[in-house]
C-alpha cells in the first residue's frame, strides 16, 4: 500500500475508533482512552502494523500543540462563579494530591534503586518523574463525571482538582527540566526559577487577555473566532518561553480571563454588557472537536509506544500502587468536616487516572536532553495505562456500593 494511502487509512481508523470509544463510554462508563490505548497496543507492539519509531520525530511538535490545546480549552471552560463553592476543596485536594504523589514517586524510586531494580539517578530526576504523573487527567475525569452520575459536589471538586493539576504538572515539570538541563546546583535556584517563570508567564497571560478581550464582541459570532483564540494561545506560549517565562502559566491565565470575560468586564467597567463577551456554542463545539482529535491521536500513540518489557510494566504497576496509597491521605485531609459517605469517599479515592498531560510531558525530557531520562517515556505511558484501567475498575466497583446517607456531626 502506498505510504500516503496507508497514512490516510490509519488516520481514518483512529478517528473512527475515537468516536466508537465515546459511544462505548456512554454505554459502559469505561473511559474511551482504554479502547484507544488498546488499539494502539494491538496495532504497534503486538502486530507491528504501525512502527512506533515512525511517529517519534513528530512527538515534540505534537506535544507542544497538545499542551496548549489542553490548557486553553480546560481553563477557558472554568466558570469562576460555578466552581467558587468547590474551588477551595478542589484546589486543596489538587495541591495535596500533587505533593503526596511527588512523595510517592520519590519513595518508589528510592526504594527501587536501593533494591537494585532501577539505575541510580539524580534526586531531581525522580522529582521530575513525580511531577509528570502527579496530576489527575481532566480529559478523562470531566467526561466521566458527566456520565457516571456522581453527586454534583464531588464532580465539581474533581473537575477543579484535575484542571488545577493539569496546569500544575506542566509548570513544575518544565521548571525541573530547566534546572536539570542548566546544571544549576544552588538549592535556592528551584524556587527562584519557579517564581520567575510563573511570574513572567502570569504577567504575559494578563497582557494577552487584555489585548484579546476587547475583540471578543466583534469575533464571537464569526466562524473563525475560535481559530483566532487558539492561534493567540500558540503565539503566547512561544512568546512566554522566549522571554524565559512559563508558557503553560501564560496560556492558563489568559484562557481563564478570556473565558470569564462576561463576568469580569462588567465588574471592571460599570455599565458594560457581559453577554457580548460570553462564549458561543460554536466555540464550545470547536473546543470539543479539537480536544477529541488531540485525545484520540495521543492515547493511540501511547498504545503504540507502550513498553512490552515485563520489568517496566511491573515497576509501573508498583508505582501506580504507590500513587493509590498516597491518594487516600490526600482525600482524608482535603475533605475533613465535609461529612462524606463511604461511597463518596471511595469515589474520590478512585479518581486517579493520569492522562494526556502526563503523556505529553513524558516526551519532553528526552527532547531537552535531560540526563538519566532515556527510558522515562515508556514507563510513564505504562503508568498512564494502568492508572486509567484502575480508575475504570474502581469507579465500576464503587458504583455498585449501596448509597448511604452522609454521616451527621
Domain boundaries defined on the chain: 3-399
- Output 52 or 396, whichever has higher pLDDT: 396
Check residue 100 and give its pLDDT.
95
What is the torsional sign of CA 115, 116, 118, 123?
Answer: positive
pLDDT band per the 50, 70, 90 thresholds, residue 84: low
CA angle 364, 370, 373 (to 5 degrees): 80
CA distances from 397 to 2, 61, 343, 400 (A): 47, 39, 10, 5
CATH class of 3-399: mainly alpha
pLDDT of residue 131: 94
Average of per-residue pLDDT values in the chain: 81
**C-alpha span between 305 and 150 (Å, rounded):** 33
Weakest mean pLDDT among 37-46, 54-63, 246-255, 324-333? 54-63
Give the pLDDT band of residue 86 (cuts 50, 70, 90).
low
The residue-averaged pLDDT of 5-23 equals 80
Using left for φ > 0, alpha for ψ between -120 and 50, and beta otherwise, residue 389 falls in: alpha
For the ranges 8-22, 108-122, 173-187, the lowest mean pLDDT is seen at 173-187
What CA–CA distance (Å, rounded) separates 353 from 357? 11
Residues 286 and 278: beta-carbon distance below 8 Å: no
Give the number of C-alpha atoms closer than 13 A to the C-alpha of residue 215, restricted to the C-beta side. Answer: 13
Phi, psi dihedrals of residue 51, rounded to the nearest 5°: -65, 130
**C-alpha gyration radius of the chain:** 21
Q: What is the pLDDT of residue 185?
A: 47
Q: Which of 57-71, 124-138, 167-181 comes out lowest in average pLDDT?
A: 57-71
Handedness of CA 51, 57, 62, 67 (dihedral sign): positive
The whole-angstrom separation of Cα 20 and Cα 345 is 31
Which residues are CB-neighbours of 150 under 8 A, at least 6 positions away? 144, 158, 347
Residue 204 pLDDT grade (very low, low, confident, very high; cuts 50, 70, 90)? very high
pLDDT at residue 148 in the model: 61
Q: Are 236 and 208 in contact (CB under 8 A)?
A: yes
The answer to whether the CB of 366 falls within 8 A of the CB of 373 is yes
Residue 73 has pLDDT above 80, yes or no: no
Burial pattern 201-217, b for ≥16 Cβ within 10 A else e, equals bbbbbeebbeebbeebe
- pLDDT at residue 72 is higher than 90: no
CB neighbourhood size of 222 (10 A):
12
Contact 377, 355 (CB under 8 A): no
Please, which residues have CB within 8 angstroms of residue 153's CB and are 6 or more apart in sequence?
A: 85, 86
Report the 10 Å Cβ neighbour count for 341.
16
All three cell numbers of 306: 507502550
Query: pLDDT at position 290, please?
Result: 83
Cell 465535609 -> residue: 338
Q: Is the pLDDT at 55 greater than 70, yes or no?
A: no
* Short-list 351, 330, 343, CA closest to 143: 351
Q: Of the candidates 357, 369, 375, 372, which has an alpha carbon nearest to the alpha carbon of residue 295?
A: 357
Contact 17, 295 (CB under 8 A): no
What is residue 314's predicted lDDT score, i.e. its pLDDT? 93
Residue 36 confidence (pLDDT) above 70: yes
Backbone dihedral angles phi then psi of residue 371, each to the nearest 5 degrees? -70, 140
* pLDDT at 23 exceeding the cut of 70: yes
Once rounded to an integer, what is the mean pLDDT over residues 121-141?
88
Q: What is the mean pLDDT of residues 77-101?
A: 78
Q: 132 with 162: CB under 8 angstroms? A: no
- Three-state SS string over 165-185 comes to HHHHHHHHHHHHHHHHHHCCC
What percentage of the chain has pLDDT greater than the value 70?
87
Whether residue 134 contacts residue 355, with contact meaning beta carbons closer than 8 Å, is answered with no
pLDDT at 409: 45
Per-residue model confidence (pLDDT) at position 97: 92
pLDDT digits (tens, 9 = 90+) for 321-367: 999 999 999 999 988 877 788 888 888 898 899 987 888 888 888 87
Amino acid at each position: 500500500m502506498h505510504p500516503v494511502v496507508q497514512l490516510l487509512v490509519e488516520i481514518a481508523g483512529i478517528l473512527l475508533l475515537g468516536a466508537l470509544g465515546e459511544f462505548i463510554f456512554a454505554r459502559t462508563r469505561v473511559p474511551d482512552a482504554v479502547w484507544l490505548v488498546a488499539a494502539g497496543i494491538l496495532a504497534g507492539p503486538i502486530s507491528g502494523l504501525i512502527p512506533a519509531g515512525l511517529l517519534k520525530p513528530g512527538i515534540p511538535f505534537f506535544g507542544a500543540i497538545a499542551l496548549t490545546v489542553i490548557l486553553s480549552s480546560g481553563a477557558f471552560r472554568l466558570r469562576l462563579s460555578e466552581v467558587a463553592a468547590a474551588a477551595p476543596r478542589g484546589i486543596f485536594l489538587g495541591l495535596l494530591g500533587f505533593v503526596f504523589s511527588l512523595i510517592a514517586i520519590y519513595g518508589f524510586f528510592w526504594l527501587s534503586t536501593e533494591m537494585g531494580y532501577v539505575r541510580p539517578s539524580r534526586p531531581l530526576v525522580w522529582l521530575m518523574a513525580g511531577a509528570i504523573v502527579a496530576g489527575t487527567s481532566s480529559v478523562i475525569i470531566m467526561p466521566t463525571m458527566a456520565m457516571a452520575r456522581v453527586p454534583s459536589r464531588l464532580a465539581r471538586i474533581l473537575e477543579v482538582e484535575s484542571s488545577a493539576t493539569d496546569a500544575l504538572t506542566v509548570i513544575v515539570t518544565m521548571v525541573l527540566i530547566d534546572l536539570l538541563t542548566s546544571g544549576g546546583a544552588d538549592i535556592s535556584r528551584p524556587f527562584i526559577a519557579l517564581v520567575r517563570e510563573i511570574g513572567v508567564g502570569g504577567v504575559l497571560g494578563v497582557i494577552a487577555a487584555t489585548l484579546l478581550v476587547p475583540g471578543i464582541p466583534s469575533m464571537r459570532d464569526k466562524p473563525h473566532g475560535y481559530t483566532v483564540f487558539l492561534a493567540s494561545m500558540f503565539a503566547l506560549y512561544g512568546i512566554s518561553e522566549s522571554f524565559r517565562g512559563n508558557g503553560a502559566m501564560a496560556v492558563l491565565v489568559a484562557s481563564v480571563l478570556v473565558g470569564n470575560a462576561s463576568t469580569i468586564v462588567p465588574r471592571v467597567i460599570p455599565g458594560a454588557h457581559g453577554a457580548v463577551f460570553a462564549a458561543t456554542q460554536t466555540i464550545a463545539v470547536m473546543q470539543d472537536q479539537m480536544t477529541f482529535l488531540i485525545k484520540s491521536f495521543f492515547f493511540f500513540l501511547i498504545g503504540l509506544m507502550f513498553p512490552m518489557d515485563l520489568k517496566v510494566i511491573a515497576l509501573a504497576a508498583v508505582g501506580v500502587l504507590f500513587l493509590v496509597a498516597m491518594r487516600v491521605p490526600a482525600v482524608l485531609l482535603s475533605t475533613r468536616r465535609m461529612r462524606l459517605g463511604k461511597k463518596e469517599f471511595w469515589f474520590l479515592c478512585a479518581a486517579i487516572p493520569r492522562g494526556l498531560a502526563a503523556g505529553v510531558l513524558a516526551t519532553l525530557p528526552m527532547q531537552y536532553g535531560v540526563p538519566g531520562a532515556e527510558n522515562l517515556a515508556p514507563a510513564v505511558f505504562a503508568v498512564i495505562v494502568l492508572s486509567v484501567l484502575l480508575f475504570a475498575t474502581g469507579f465500576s466497583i464503587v458504583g455498585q456500593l449501596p448509597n448511604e446517607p452522609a454521616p451527621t456531626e
